[in-house]
Amino acid sequence: TQLLEQSPQFLSIQEGENLTVYCNSSSVFSSLQWYRQEPGEGPVLLVTVVTGGEVKKLKRLTFQFGDARKDSSLHITAAQPGDTGLYLCAGEDQAGTALIFGKGTTLSVSS
């Protein structure tokens, strides 16, 4: 069974701090996607990482895919209150259609 474990589960920080959240698995994924979800809304796709060792930047967000394609990280620089939300990683299952989601990291940034 493919599983994605995310850590930490909750993170509460002050505006301006840096943070990293992690997404780990014992399985290899062909790609991993990061989503952000607001309460009562659907997940919004942030980025897809596809190559082992790949680094993608989206403004203050930096996404990295592990060399073995089993893990990924999301680093936020100088967090702002607008970054508050649930961050989810998801990978394609072996059958190739379903996305398997992690439980997510709930980030709270206070000013």
Partner 1 sequence: EPEVTQTPSHQVTQMGQEVILRCVPISNHLYFYWYRQILGQKVEFLVSFYNNEISEKSEIFDDQFSVERPDGSNFTLKIRSTKLEDSAMYFCASSGESRYNEQFFGPGTRLTVL
**Which 3 state secondary structure label does DSSP give 49?**
strand
DSSP 98: P
* Closer of 59 and 95 to partner 1 (Cβ): 95
Name the minimum Å distance from CB 91 to partner 1: 9
45 makes contact with partner 1 (CB under 8 A): yes
With contacts defined by CB under 8 A, name the span among 10-18, 38-46, 56-64, 73-81 that binds partner 1: 38-46
Q: How far apart are CA 25 and CA 1, in angstroms?
A: 10
Residue 57 CB neighbours (<10 A): 12
Determine the interface stretch with partner 1 among 10-18, 43-51, 59-67, 69-77 (rule: CB under 8 A): 43-51
